[in-house]
Amino acid sequence: MIRVVVAEEMCLLRGALCAALSNEEDIEVVAEVTGVDEVSAAVRRHRPDVVLVDLAPDEPQPVEVVAGIVTATPGTAVLALGRQWSQTTVGELLAAGARGMVGTDASLAALVAAVRDVAGGARVIDATAAVSALSPPCSPLTRREAEVLRAAAGGLPVKEIARRLFLAHGTVRNHLSASMRKTGARNRMEAVWRARREGWI
- All domains of the chain in start order, with CATH: 2-134 (3.40.50.2300), 143-197 (1.10.10.10)
Share of the chain above pLDDT 90, in %: 50
**pLDDT recorded at residue 63:** 79
Element (H, E) at 98: none
Under 8 Å between Cβ of 21 and 7: no
In angstroms, the CA 170 to CA 136 distance is 31
Give me the phi and psi of 102, to 5 degrees please.
-135, 135
| Position 62 pLDDT exceeds 90 | no
In angstroms, the CA 45 to CA 38 distance is 11
Closest by CA to 99, choosing from 36, 48, 146, 140, is 48
pLDDT in tens, 117-160: 999 999 998 877 776 666 656 789 999 999 999 899 888 899 99
**In this structure, how many other beta carbons lie within 10 angstroms of the beta carbon of residue 150?**
16
| Position 86 pLDDT exceeds 60 | yes
Torsion of CA 25, 26, 30, 35, to 10 degrees: -100
How many residues are listed for the chain in this entry?
A: 201
Share of the chain above pLDDT 70, in %: 94
Under 8 Å between Cβ of 197 and 89: yes
Give me the phi and psi of 7, to 5 degrees please.
-115, 110
**Average per-residue pLDDT for the chain:** 87
Residue type, 44: R
Is 200 in a helix, a strand, or coil? coil
Please report, for residues 69, 144, 159, 180, 187, the alpha-carbon distance to residue 149 in angstroms, rounded to integers and kept in the order given.
31, 9, 14, 9, 11
